[in-house]
Structure formats: C-alpha cells, structure tokens
C-alpha cells in the first residue's frame, strides 16, 4: 500500500503544472520521504505541498513557525524541507491541540522529527519571541481570528494583537504565508463565523495594516466553481473550496 501511495505522490509531482524537474531538491525529497504516513500522502493529492512550498521559497536552514497547524501535516513537510540545519515550531492553542491530539502523538513520537517540536499556547501570548523566524505559516486558520464560539471552547481572539505578535516574531524581511477559504467579495470577516471563510481583500487590508507587505499570490488552490455561500464543511464543497494564497514580507 505504501509503495503505491509513494508512486501516486510522485505521479502528482510529475503531472502537476510545476514539473518535477523544476522542484528544488529539498522540497522534492521532503514530499517523497518514505517515512511519511499514508494518510499524509492521501492529503497531498488535495494540498499539492511541493508546489506550495516552492511558491513560499522554503529552503534548507530556515526557522519556521506553523501557527494553528493542528496535527502537523505541514510541520512535518517543512521540517523535512528545511533539513537538520533548520527548525519548525508547531504552535496550537488549546482548542486546536484538543482537536488534533490523536494525530500529534504518532507525528512526534520516537523523535521521528528531530528538528521540529510543538507547543500549546494561548493567543494572548504566542511565545514566539522577537526576530526569531524566517517564515510563519497559517494554513486555513487565519479566518479563526474572527470566529467565536465560547460554548465550544473557542474564545474571542484579539486579531490585532495576534498579528502584531506574528510581525514581532519574524526576522527583518521574514515572510508570512496565508492560505484560506475565500468568502464572497465585500463580506469582510463576517463569513468567518458561519461559513469558516474570509474575504480575500479584507485579509490583504487587515494583514497589510500590521506591518506586512503583500509580495505575491498563488492561484494553485483557486476554484471558480465554489459556491462561496456554503459552509466549507458542506459535502457539496468540502475539499473543493476556492482558496486564496498570499505571501507577505515583514516591513
């Protein structure tokens, strides 16, 4: 089974818009690593990790924070891509940790990712330090800054303070990578509450207002057929939402 999944992953690399020959060696090796789980390889078919990490410019030796990274799918990929001279910190708050705890145990047991670790923090103090990271990644979780469900254990987040912490944690000219479910134009942050989506233009204005400059975007997750009025967990759109990708540089 694993052999077939490895072959499928390599086929994705070869058949995707970016040809395998164009992939940086560190990224190609990270995706193809034999130690990766079958579950992660299945997710590769949806999330095209080689292309995203190439777009983001993930290189050996980088120090990266995977914020609200849940079970660590991207943490493992990036840890393999940055190599032994780099490091990846998985940062969850208490609700994300509780949601992902079953995935975290096999991810980190036996020191299988020696250049990665995990912490659980609260959003008022992410404990990321100052001028510490080359890149911070928030994959499909930026909208959660504007989501509130006190009964289900998700308190209101001070989004402005959160973004200020991210900027402070980045080295000068460090990067912030954002991927999220697109909401209808003009809806601002309101769709985060009911649909788990967020307006792309709102994200740009919001993040740019906290000391970041949008450097470039990527269309690899776009889907013009997505119904932006549907909850992202609706079976009609789940796994097929229109997702925007933005790479910011710390000013």
The domain tally of the chain equals 1
**Residue 200 belongs to some domain of the structure:** yes
Extract the tokens encoding 124: 């008022």
Q: What is the average pLDDT across 74-89?
A: 98
Is residue 150 assigned to a domain?
A: yes
| Per-residue confidence (pLDDT) for residue 6, from 0 to 100 | 47
Residues 113-140: pLDDT tens digits? 999 999 999 999 999 999 999 999 999 9
The answer to whether residue 8 scores a pLDDT higher than 50 is no
User: What CATH number is given to the structural domain containing 112?
Assistant: 3.40.50.150
Domain that holds residue 140: 47-250
Asked if residue 16 belongs to a domain, the reply is no
The share of the chain scoring above pLDDT 90, in percent, equals 88
Residues 6 or more apart whose CB falls under 8 angstroms from that of 158 comprise 123, 124
Kindly report, residue by residue over 43-73, the tens digit of the pLDDT.
999 999 999 999 999 999 999 999 999 999 9
pLDDT at 30: 98
Residue at 29 is within a domain: no
Alpha helices in the chain (DSSP H): 2-15, 25-32, 38-47, 49-56, 73-82, 94-108, 159-169, 191-195, 200-208
pTM: 0.92
CA–CA gap between residue 155 and residue 152 (Å, rounded): 9
SS3 (DSSP) at 122 = strand
Residue 141, in any domain of the structure? yes
pLDDT value of residue 2:
46
At 89, the pLDDT band (50, 70, 90 cuts) reads very high
| 33 is a domain residue | no
Of the candidates 138, 171, 179, the residue with the CA atom closest to the CA atom of residue 157: 138
Question: Which pLDDT value is given to residue 79?
Answer: 98
Average pLDDT over residues 192-220: 98
Mean pLDDT of the chain, nearest integer: 93
Predicted confidence (pLDDT) at residue 238 exceeds the cutoff of 70: yes
Q: Flag the least confident range among 14-18, 97-101, 150-154, 191-195.
A: 14-18
Domain membership flag for residue 165: yes
> Residue 129 falls within a domain, yes or no?
yes
- Reported as a pLDDT band with limits 50, 70 and 90, residue 4 is very low
């Amino acid at each position: 089974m694993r052999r077939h999944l490895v072959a499928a992953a390599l086929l994705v690399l070869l058949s995707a818009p970016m040809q395998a020959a164009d992939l940086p060696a560190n990224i190609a090796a990270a995706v193809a690593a034999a130690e990766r789980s079958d579950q992660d390889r299945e997710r590769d078919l949806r999330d095209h990790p080689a292309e995203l990490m190439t777009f983001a410019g993930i290189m050996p030796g980088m120090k990266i924070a995977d914020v609200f990274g849940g079970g660590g799918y991207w943490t493992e990929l990036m840890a393999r891509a940055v190599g032994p001279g780099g490091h990846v910190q998985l940062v969850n708050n208490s609700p994300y940790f509780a949601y992902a705890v079953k995935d975290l145990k096999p991810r980190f047991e036996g020191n299988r990712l020696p250049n990665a670790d995990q912490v659980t923090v609260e959003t008022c103090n992410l404990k990321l330090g100052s001028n510490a990271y080359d890149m911070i990644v928030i994959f499909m979780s930026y909208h959660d800054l504007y989501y509130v469900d006190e009964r289900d254990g998700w308190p209101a987040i001070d989004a402005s303070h959160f973004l200020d912490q991210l900027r402070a944690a980045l080295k000068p000219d460090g990067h912030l990578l954002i991927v999220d479910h697109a909401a209808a134009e003009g809806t601002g942050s309101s769709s985060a509450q009911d649909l788990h989506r967020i307006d792309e233009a709102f994200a740009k204005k919001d993040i740019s207002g906290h000391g970041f400059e949008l450097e470039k975007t990527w269309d690899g997750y776009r889907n013009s057929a997505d119904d932006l009025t549907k909850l992202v967990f609706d079976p009609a759109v789940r796994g097929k939402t229109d997702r925007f990708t933005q790479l910011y540089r710390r000013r």
